[in-house]
Structure 1
Amino acid sequence: MKNIVLKTLELKNFKSFRHAKFDDFNQKENFIYGKNGAGKSTLFDAFLWLLFGKDANDRKDYEIKPLDENNQVQKQIDVEVHATLLINNEEVTLSRIYKEKWQKVKGAEEKTFKGHETELIFNQVPVSLKEFNAKVAEISEESLFKLITNPSAFESLDWKKKREVLVSIAGEVSDEELFNSDADFKELSLKLTNKTLDEYDTQLKASIKKSKQEKEDTPARIDELKNSKIEDVDFAKIDSDIQEKEGKISDIDSELENASKSVQNIVDANTKVQQEIQSLNSQKSEIEIGLRNQAKQECFIDTSTIDSLKSKLRNAQTMLQNSNNYLNSLKQNISNYESSIKALEADKTDLVSKYNLENAKVFDAEKYSCTCPNCQTKFVYNDEPEKEFNLEKNQKLSKIIDQGNSIKSKIEQYKSQVEKVLLDLATPSEDINKYQSDIDNINSEIQTEKSNLQSPKNEEEVYQNLISDNAQLSKLKIEIATLQSKIKEVKQADNSELKLQKQTLQTEIKQLIELKGKSSVNESIDNRIKELANREKELSQIIANLEKEQFVIERFKKVKTESLEKSVNEKFEYVTFKLFEEQVNGGLNPTCITLVNGVPFGSANTAGRINAGLDIINTLCKVNEINAPVFLDNRESVTELIPTESQIISLIVDPNQETLKFN
């Protein structure tokens, strides 16, 4: 059995505590008094925060720093919690310190807040968070520790989680044992192939629901079939009516065919005339194309000389632009060199001033002199300082001279570049003058050539005159017009009435054929009605069998429920647990309700709830072989606690106690 005892607890700047230290906790029961709001519950939060970085409500991100008079979080303070534990009488110390990080940014006068960091110490040795958590886990697992240190922790869990904890303590009765205890249960187990009991139960419920629904729908389906039976029909007359209507359709088809032949003769004659017109139009198009080419030749003007001059003009303009760009580039280079020379001359002037200032410095012998105690005469007892001064001065002057020589060399280099570029300026200037002269001459030649061109003829006028004078083209136009007059108008016959009559007859024949096909419908309907009546009886038996199996499952669950509740409740002395609720239909729903003397935990008085919590803690400690400090809030409400092996820290409300009093 691992026994954990809290020996000391110290808080600094934790929530409402500026500083509080509690030494020499008793290993059995301790009493801490204070009015509401004095910080009693904060002690438990601090203890849990120290171990796990969370409060009693399992929150990580919550405000632990104290507030100022304006209810604002205080800054530039560290939050600390320290504790000493006795684990099987071996002393262990733990510390958690929450620090602010402040950093001075380059160029800023004040430091900037950069967040927080946590320092963790275990047995006076700083450790990482991972190492600290591992060492705390060796003391106790977190969720278990919270359950055995807080009487209300278990009841605050979700009912499913509470149920898991209880089942892990008591252990469930195995299904195998129950299956072998009853013949009906044994038969049930044989049906659970590749499925759980709950899955099979769900399957049964779905099957029962489906079968009942099918049975309820059967009478309506039978009535629907009876209503769909058709009355007796004279099928012999139907055949006679079909033959009569088919004869009428044949007569209509003959009329439509004769009308179509008359129209086709006219269409064929018109097609022959259209082919002759198309041949003449082809001859006409060939003549017109020839006349269009002839008009183009008569109106053609030769501009090849002007086009050649324009090409030479574009080349000369390109060369002029390139020469201008080159000239501007050379001028920009000269400007850049001159700017560099100006900057270097300024640096040179600064170096001269720096040299004169350094050269004017003299050794201060007074600083290194001593006074003779006998004659009061001042003297320099060592010439080393003066040597060091002169050496340092000469080194600085030499460095300045080297910098000056380097600047002088660069100035001379840039001036040489300027002179070279000035000589290069002559070439692009000459090219610019040459290309500008060429451009002027070419423009003059283009204007001269344009003035020598003949006035162009109007191509469309020439073309129209050629068409008017062509006798063959005029003859073709007359022949085409004569043929077009021979084309006859084709008038389509109005067959819409005949087609409508045919369509109506076809629809009537289709309806008669469908009616004839229903001769065996009534017989099929009667057979189907018998099938549904037999199925209705069969469904009644199926439902009865399924409900019997469902009853066995419910009885199995109830036996298992009673066994589980008995096993769980045997582990506790003060509380009992209700692990299942019976539904109206007799089914069972899993739950987890804590009862204190038969009353639900939430309805019990404060003393009852505290002792119930202690009873749960006692069982958890016994099963897990561990005891830990238990923090009892509202201890003043309990006159007598049930016995416990754990250390008790009782938090008692005392309206007259402004600050916490430890006893």
Structure 2
Amino acid sequence: MQIEFKSLKLQNFKSHQDLTVNFGERTVITGDNAKGKSTIPEAITWLLYGTDTLGSKLDPSPITYEADETMVSLLMDIDGTELLLGRELKKGKAKYYINEVPSKATDFNEMLGQYFNKSMFLSLFNPNYFFTLKWTEQREMILQYVSAPSNKEVFKELPEAQAKKLAELLKKHSLDDLEKIHRTNKNKLDKQYIAAQSRTKTLKEQLENNAPKVPLESLQAELSVLTKQRDEIEKVTDVAGDTNSRINIINSKIESLTIQIERGREQHAKVKNTQIEQNCYACGQELTEEAKAEALKSVDANAKAIARNVNPMIKERKALREELATLEYIDVSEQLEKARKLQEQINPIEQEINKYKHFEAMKEQLEEAQQAEKQILVSLNESIFIIDSIKDFRAKEAELQAKKVQDLFETLSINLFEELKNGEIKATFEIEMDGKGYSKLSLSESIRAGLELREVLSQQSNINVPVFVDNAESITKFKEPTGQLIMARVVAEQELKIVGDK
């Protein structure tokens, strides 16, 4: 889009009561200080946006005289079509005109927005305006014309292992999500790895401190001899124990039977000695002979019943006494003492052998701990590799994007990123000329820098608007921008003079 200024009319605008400026391809405004040179471009930005050329609010009120109203109109040519815009301020109230037709502010602003936004116009019109923006806005304005490097472009610049790993992972997750996943994983595994190392170290120390000192074969040989001797003694004591136990059981049974037999005999004698009553206990009459015979018969039956119970016990006691006569009590106290002493020798040997079992179990635990430590380390290294790959990806992506941006400029250097102490890449934006940041440039250098940047914005946006260069006397040589050029120069003791080349 080609935009040219044809003419500008100012009525009661700051120091100008009535001024008409006819623009040419190159318009030079000269005069001494305070003659209203800078007021001319300010009238244009006030008309369009109500600001000065740096985007700050502007009061257009007359300075050295009084007037009821202020009027600015600008005739422009936009791609061959003329457009006349006007803004009037009367008693604090603004009025807008499009081709002399009164318009609402919203319609006026909407019409401007169809051609360009405020920041773009001011950046193209005033080379100093761009540098008043926040660095984030500057960065955004430049990057909108440079496509970010594709993943494939970045992968080509990365080592094969990193490119292959990220290409696979990016099928499921974004780069930001991958970084969150593996940073979280790394933090978790860092703690697990420290704990695993500590456990492995502890088990190694325990293994060293509990290592058996006597060879297992020697212990087993000695144990075999001692257990054999003990077992031989236990065979004897076991047999003796059975015999002695049988003797004790028989004696106990004989004693129990004797008591029962004596009790039975006493009962039998008592029954035998029972006196038959001669008279009935109920009526007192003398019993008949028949009744007396029945009573004797009953007593005899009771005595025989008792004898039948006692006789088997007598026979059993006799048999037990006969068996007891065949048994002899064996004294094994000496053998038991020998067995006890042998066991005292066996116990420490078995403890030493058990140490071998415990030692083997600890070795297994150590192997498991070492394997767990190794697995954690593998997973940890995997996350570290991915995090580093992402870091390298972003660094290479930044490098490629910076190169694309840098290719737009001839003399300026553009810093889009900075590397932090931890190696991460942080977005930034700084323009340098000859190794110096914009804030450290001289006036002439800052003008040249602004003109080059303005030219890049114009080419990339395909918008060409007139450019205003203030303090042009401070710059002796520069590459003129495309489109109309408006320059203001200080000439001592000279009134305002405007010359527009056709």
TM-score, normalised on structure 1? 0.46
Matched, 1:149 2:140: no
Distance 1:656 1:533, change over 3 A: farther
Which residue of 2 is the match for residue 64 of structure 1?
Answer: 60
Q: Structure 1: how far apart are the matches of 2:123 and 2:180?
A: 36
Q: Structure 2: how far apart are the matches of 1:533 and 1:653?
A: 82
Q: Contact (CA 8 Å) 1:162, 1:592: kept in 2 or not?
A: yes
Matched, 1:167 2:143: yes
2:452 to 601, 615, 618: 615
Q: Structure 1: how far apart are the matches of 2:463 and 2:76?
A: 14
Q: Structure 1: how far apart are the matches of 2:368 and 2:42?
A: 74
Q: Structure 1: how far apart are the matches of 2:96 and 2:190?
A: 67
Which residue of 1 is the match for residue 90 of structure 2?
Answer: 99
Q: Contact (CA 8 Å) 2:15, 2:64: kept in 1 or not?
A: no
Distance 1:213 1:627, change over 3 A: same
The structural deviation recorded for 1:54 is 3.1
Unpaired segments ≥5 residues, structure 2: 204-361
Which residue identity lines up with residue 205 of structure 1 in the other structure? R
1:85 to 68, 76, 84: 76
Matched, 1:126 2:102: yes
Q: Structure 1: how far apart are the matches of 2:397 and 2:37?
A: 44
Map 1:449-528 → 2, pairs under 5 A? none
Map 1:537-616 → 2, pairs under 5 A? 537-616=374-453
Matched, 1:209 2:205: no
1:17 to 15, 33, 57: 15
Q: What do residues 429-470 of structure 1 show as CA deviations (whole Å, max 9, x unaligned)?
A: xxxxxxxxxxxxxxxxxxxxxxxxxxxxxxxxxxxxxxxxxx
Which residue of 1 is the match for residue 42 of structure 2?
Answer: 45
The structural deviation recorded for 1:530 is 9.0
Q: Contact (CA 8 Å) 2:406, 2:413: kept in 1 or not?
A: yes
Q: What do residues 462-493 of structure 1 show as CA deviations (whole Å, max 9, x unaligned)?
A: xxxxxxxxxxxxxxxxxxxxxxxxxxxxxxxx
The structural deviation recorded for 1:218 is 6.2
Q: Structure 1: how far apart are the matches of 2:54 and 2:365?
A: 68
Distance 1:552 1:29, change over 3 A: same
Q: Structure 2: how far apart are the matches of 1:199 and 1:159?
A: 27
Which residue identity lines up with residue 2 of structure 2 in the other structure? N
Matched, 1:627 2:457: no
Which residue of 2 is the match for residue 191 of structure 1?
Answer: 169
Q: What do residues 134-184 of structure 1 show as CA deviations (whole Å, max 9, x unaligned)?
A: 332344333321121111222222222222222222222212443467643
Which residue of 1 is the match for residue 134 of structure 2?
Answer: 158
Which residue identity lines up with residue 178 of structure 2 in the other structure? Y
Q: Contact (CA 8 Å) 1:32, 1:649: kept in 2 or not?
A: no
SS at structure 2 position matched to 1:199: helix
Which residue identity lines up with residue 50 of structure 1 in the other structure? L
Which residue identity lines up with residue 42 of structure 1 in the other structure? T
Q: Contact (CA 8 Å) 1:170, 1:571: kept in 2 or not?
A: no
Map 1:289-304 → 2, pairs under 5 A? none
Which residue identity lines up with residue 9 of structure 1 in the other structure? L
Q: Structure 2: how far apart are the matches of 1:653 and 1:93?
A: 30
Q: What do residues 592-633 of structure 1 show as CA deviations (whole Å, max 9, x unaligned)?
A: 211213322222222221111111111221222221111112
Distance 1:561 1:575, change over 3 A: same
SS at structure 2 position matched to 1:639: coil
The structural deviation recorded for 1:223 is 11
Q: Contact (CA 8 Å) 1:151, 1:614: kept in 2 or not?
A: yes
Matched, 1:651 2:488: yes
Q: What do residues 309-341 of structure 1 show as CA deviations (whole Å, max 9, x unaligned)?
A: xxxxxxxxxxxxxxxxxxxxxxxxxxxxxxxxx
2:31 to 30, 33, 56: 33
Q: What do residues 230-274 of structure 1 show as CA deviations (whole Å, max 9, x unaligned)?
A: xxxxxxxxxxxxxxxxxxxxxxxxxxxxxxxxxxxxxxxxxxxxx
Which residue of 2 is the match for residue 661 of structure 1?
Answer: 497
Structure 1 stretch displaced more, 84-93 or 644-653: 84-93
Which residue identity lines up with residue 87 of structure 2 in the other structure? R
Q: Contact (CA 8 Å) 1:32, 1:660: kept in 2 or not?
A: yes
Q: Contact (CA 8 Å) 1:83, 1:93: kept in 2 or not?
A: yes
Distance 1:216 1:25, change over 3 A: same
Q: Contact (CA 8 Å) 2:27, 2:498: kept in 1 or not?
A: no
Q: What do residues 355-403 of structure 1 show as CA deviations (whole Å, max 9, x unaligned)?
A: xxxxxxxxxxxxxxxxxxxxxxxxxxxxxxxxxxxxxxxxxxxxxxxxx
Distance 1:55 1:218, change over 3 A: farther
Q: Contact (CA 8 Å) 2:414, 2:429: kept in 1 or not?
A: yes
SS at structure 1 position matched to 2:414: strand
C-alpha RMSD over aligned residues: 3.5
Distance 1:655 1:20, change over 3 A: farther
SS at structure 2 position matched to 1:40: coil
Which residue identity lines up with residue 44 of structure 1 in the other structure? P
The structural deviation recorded for 1:639 is 0.3
Q: Contact (CA 8 Å) 1:180, 1:186: kept in 2 or not?
A: no
Q: Structure 1: how far apart are the matches of 2:115 and 2:374?
A: 69
Q: Structure 2: how far apart are the matches of 1:51 and 1:139?
A: 12
Q: Structure 2: how far apart are the matches of 1:38 and 1:531?
A: 89
Q: What do residues 520-564 of structure 1 show as CA deviations (whole Å, max 9, x unaligned)?
A: xxxxxx999998776555443333222222222222222222221
Structure 1 stretch displaced more, 145-154 or 155-164: 155-164
Distance 1:6 1:96, change over 3 A: same
Which residue of 2 is the match for residue 5 of structure 1?
Answer: 4
SS at structure 2 position matched to 1:202: helix
SS at structure 2 position matched to 1:51: helix
TM-score, normalised on structure 2? 0.60
Unpaired segments ≥5 residues, structure 1: 101-115, 226-525
SS at structure 1 position matched to 2:479: coil
Q: Contact (CA 8 Å) 1:95, 1:121: kept in 2 or not?
A: yes
The structural deviation recorded for 1:640 is 1.0
The structural deviation recorded for 1:193 is 4.8
Q: Contact (CA 8 Å) 1:7, 1:26: kept in 2 or not?
A: yes
SS at structure 1 position matched to 2:429: strand
The structural deviation recorded for 1:47 is 0.9
Q: Contact (CA 8 Å) 1:10, 1:19: kept in 2 or not?
A: no
Which residue identity lines up with residue 45 of structure 1 in the other structure? E
Which residue identity lines up with residue 91 of structure 1 in the other structure? E
Q: What do residues 183-236 of structure 1 show as CA deviations (whole Å, max 9, x unaligned)?
A: 4313212213553213322332333233224444667899999xxxxxxxxxxx
Q: Contact (CA 8 Å) 2:448, 2:478: kept in 1 or not?
A: yes
Which residue of 1 is the match for residue 338 of structure 2?
Answer: none
Which residue of 2 is the match for residue 285 of structure 1?
Answer: none
Map 1:321-340 → 2, pairs under 5 A? none
The structural deviation recorded for 1:67 is 5.5
* Identical amino acids, percent of aligned pairs: 26
